[in-house]
């Protein structure tokens, strides 16, 4: 009898160990990200900073989801659904030679804090009113079948973690299965699919103490402001107003360089003077990644680096002759005086890592030959940062740390990534592999080659990239789809794109690869 009991216990343990292999779901899961539903229209025209201009296209997509919903579907918004970093009340010059914006709310000039709860609530209130059709469409979608909607907060809509802001959004869906994920992530019922926005393994956009990205000052709670939000204020608020597709290009830095390349040399010099910190750091980070694989890199004398003159930092731009010439011209005219005192530790490390790898650059002084903790993230690369992040996070959110999710879906970068196996290495449950995929942005995006193809069209030959509007870009939107499954989820990256007859259809692949 005792032996039989032992065998039963062993069998029960084996069954529990295989629980994830028996996971199943009869629901469709559709994940979209980075809609950036925002400022809306000014009169009959779109506000130039509005990214979500595609309500009719989105409605047809919701119809596709509903038609394939079967027993039910989960529509997961993987962060940055709402654009709450940009103020709908700001005013801009619209002059590329002297771009400037006035932002009356959310502590624009403070590099540490953003909106308080009331300011964030006012921004969301504007967005809801400006995009009533977006809210109505989601309400109709959920009410029409056994569908559920989940909003994961991202870095641009982290304000959803304020209780009043969250309550205001959910009031639009009273009595309906719509959820804001206050945990900062979404996990499928069987624990197999984990999704978050992806900004928490991006040093430039992560928040301390996520999902509580707050800081208190004199009894008032504010959103903490990551470096990325400062960049948005320094660049996109000013330059998107005169170059509306700047963040519809394949990645952030491509958009910036495209804008600077299209401007005249004088305008570029003015822009470099205003944006030198951003340009310097983007070039530093790009060059630092070249050094992957080095065993030992020094710990830099950050205090001395912060006291260096402007010329010390200029040589970072030498691999980009146009940017270097513009920065030099701006400095010569007095338009560029860089004070390194405000650089963070990570920013100093990125600059010094790039200089260490750049022939002819004046090197940073060193404290020791030991690799500093902050610079490790720069040199291990984005993929390894994702691996380290998932190794830490997945056991924390799993019911059993030995049985972590087998799928990770994120957004944030605006560039869709096909599903692929990501080895996480040895963990408590043994060797773990995760299928990861990036949803891309559910907005119109284009690569530089696609922009060139658009400008080559006969009707566009009198235009340059600065003239293009988001509506000129291909009507194509990426998303991730997981069909009902038994055993383990099958993940597909699809694009929702317009055909020659004007109708939409799904197909496999990324919009940046589409013709």
pLDDT at 145: 87
pLDDT at 369: 60
* CA distances for 415 relative to 34, 84, 252, 305, 401, angstroms: 10, 21, 10, 34, 31
pLDDT tens digits, 132-160: 999 999 999 999 889 999 999 999 999 99
* CA distances for 298 relative to 301, 344, 368, 370, 373, angstroms: 9, 17, 6, 5, 11
Q: How much is the pTM? A: 0.83
Which structural domains are found in the chain, ordered by start? 23-244+381-513 (3.60.21), 249-291+298-370 (no CATH)
* DSSP category for residue 370: S
pLDDT at 199: 95
Specify whether the CB–CB gap between 80 and 157 falls below 8 A: yes
Best CA proximity match to 275, nearest among 233, 310, 235, 308? 235
φ and ψ at residue 255, rounded to 5 degrees: -60, -45
Q: Is the pLDDT of residue 105 over 90?
A: yes
3-class secondary structure per residue, 102-164: ECCCCCCCCCCEEEEHHHHHHHHHHHHHHCHHHHHHHHHHHHCCCEEEEEECCCCCHHHHCHH
Token readout for 467 is 């003239």
- How many percent of the chain have pLDDT more than 70? 88
pLDDT at 284: 82
pLDDT at 96: 66
Best CA proximity match to 445, nearest among 359, 514, 362? 514
Q: Is the pLDDT of residue 313 over 60?
A: yes
Best CA proximity match to 407, nearest among 417, 420, 396, 397? 420
pLDDT tens digits, 405-428: 999 999 998 889 999 999 999 998
Specify whether the CB–CB gap between 99 and 271 falls below 8 A: yes
pLDDT at 411: 96
Q: Which residues pair with 478 in a beta bridge?
A: 495
Which one is predicted more confidently, 90 or 21? 90
Q: Is the pLDDT of residue 316 over 50?
A: yes
Q: Is the pLDDT of residue 33 over 90?
A: yes
Torsion sign (Cα): 18, 21, 25, 28: positive
pLDDT bracket for residue 219 (50, 70, 90): very high
pLDDT tens digits, 288-305: 655 433 445 568 899 999
pLDDT at 10: 41
Cβ neighbours for 359, distance < 8 A, ≥ 6 positions apart: none
Q: Is 175 exposed, middle or buried (0-12, 13-18, 19+ CB in 10 A)?
A: exposed
Q: Is the pLDDT of residue 21 over 70?
A: no
Instruction: Examine residue 464 and say whether the peptide bond preceding it is cis (omega within 30 degrees of 0).
Output: no
pLDDT bracket for residue 373 (50, 70, 90): very low
Cβ neighbours for 505, distance < 8 A, ≥ 6 positions apart: 496, 497, 499
Q: Is the pLDDT of residue 435 over 80?
A: yes
Cβ neighbours for 297, distance < 8 A, ≥ 6 positions apart: 291, 353, 356, 371, 375, 379
Specify whether the CB–CB gap between 73 and 66 falls below 8 A: yes
Distance (Å, rounded) from C-alpha 222 to C-alpha 113? 6
Distance (Å, rounded) from C-alpha 97 to C-alpha 466? 13
* DSSP category for residue 249: B
pLDDT at 100: 78
Q: Is 371 exposed, middle or buried (0-12, 13-18, 19+ CB in 10 A)?
A: middle
Distance (Å, rounded) from C-alpha 256 to C-alpha 276? 12
pLDDT at 292: 38
pLDDT tens digits, 221-272: 999 998 788 777 766 677 777 778 877 877 666 767 777 777 777 777 877 7
- How many percent of the chain have pLDDT more than 90? 53
pLDDT tens digits, 34-91: 999 999 999 999 998 899 999 999 999 999 999 988 778 999 999 999 999 999 988 8
Q: For the residues 93-114, what does the mean pLDDT come to?
A: 83
Distance (Å, rounded) from C-alpha 136 to C-alpha 163? 22
Token readout for 274 is 């205003």
pLDDT at 23: 63
3-class secondary structure per residue, 460-514: HCCCCHHHCCHHHCCCEEEEEEECCEEECCCEEEEEEEECCCCCEEEEECCHHHC
Q: Is the pLDDT of residue 99 over 80?
A: no
Secondary structure class of 191 (helix, strand, coil): coil
Distance (Å, rounded) from C-alpha 61 to C-alpha 394? 31
pLDDT at 97: 66
Q: For the residues 13-20, what does the mean pLDDT come to?
A: 40
């Amino acid at each position: 009898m005792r032996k039989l009991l032992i065998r039963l216990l062993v069998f029960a343990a084996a069954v529990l160990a295989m629980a994830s292999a028996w996971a199943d779901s009869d629901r469709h899961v559709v994940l979209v990200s980075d809609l950036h539903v925002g400022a809306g229209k000014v009169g009959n025209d779109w506000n130039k900073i509005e990214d979500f201009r595609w309500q009719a296209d989105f409605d047809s997509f919701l119809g596709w989801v509903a038609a394939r919903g079967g027993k039910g579907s989960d529509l997961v918004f993987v962060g940055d659904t709402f654009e709450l970093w940009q103020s709908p009340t700001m005013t801009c010059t619209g002059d590329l030679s002297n771009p400037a914006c006035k932002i009356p709310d959310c502590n624009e000039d403070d590099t540490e804090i953003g909106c308080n709860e009331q300011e964030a609530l006012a921004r969301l209130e504007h967005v809801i009113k400006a995009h009533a059709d977006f809210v109505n469409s989601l309400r109709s979608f959920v009410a029409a079948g056994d569908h559920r909607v989940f909003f994961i907060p991202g870095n641009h809509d982290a304000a959803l973690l304020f209780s009043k802001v969250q309550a205001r959004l959910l009031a639009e869906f009273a009595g309906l299965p719509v959820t804001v994920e206050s945990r900062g992530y979404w996990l499928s019922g069987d624990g197999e699919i984990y999704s978050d926005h992806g900004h928490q393994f991006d040093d430039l956009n992560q928040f301390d103490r996520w999902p509580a990205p707050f800081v208190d000052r004199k009894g008032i709670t504010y959103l903490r402001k990551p470096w990325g939000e400062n960049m948005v204020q320094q660049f996109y608020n000013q330059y998107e107003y005169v170059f509306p597709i700047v963040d519809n290009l394949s990645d952030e830095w491509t958009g910036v360089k495209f804008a600077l390349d299209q401007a005249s040399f004088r305008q570029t010099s003015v822009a470099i003077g205003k944006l030198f910190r951003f340009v310097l750091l983007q070039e530093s980070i790009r060059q630092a990644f070249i050094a992957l694989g080095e065993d030992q890199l020094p710990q830099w004398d950050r205090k001395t680096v912060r006291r260096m003159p402007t010329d010390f930092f200029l040589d970072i731009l030498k691999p980009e002759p146009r940017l270097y010439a513009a920065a030099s011209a701006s400095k010569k005219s007095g338009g560029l005086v860089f004070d390194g005192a405000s650089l963070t530790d990570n920013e100093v490390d990125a600059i010094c890592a790039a200089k260490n790898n750049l022939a002819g650059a004046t090197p940073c002084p060193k404290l020791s030959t030991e690799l500093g903790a902050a610079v490790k993230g720069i040199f291990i690369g984005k993929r390894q940062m994702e691996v380290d992040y998932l190794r830490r996070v997945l056991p924390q959110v799993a019911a059993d740390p030995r049985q972590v999710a087998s799928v990770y879906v994120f957004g944030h970068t605006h560039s869709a990534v096909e599903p692929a196996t990501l080895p996480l290495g040895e963990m408590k449950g043994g060797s773990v592999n995760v299928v990861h995929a990036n949803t891309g942005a559910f907005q119109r995006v284009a690569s530089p080659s696609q922009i060139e193809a658009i400008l080559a069209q006969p009707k566009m030959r009198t235009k340059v990239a600065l003239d293009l509007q988001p509506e000129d870009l291909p009507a194509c939107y990426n998303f991730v789809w997981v069909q009902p499954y038994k055993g383990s989820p099958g993940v597909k990256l699809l694009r929702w794109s317009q055909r020659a007859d004007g109708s939409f259809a799904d197909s496999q692949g990324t919009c940046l690869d589409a013709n």
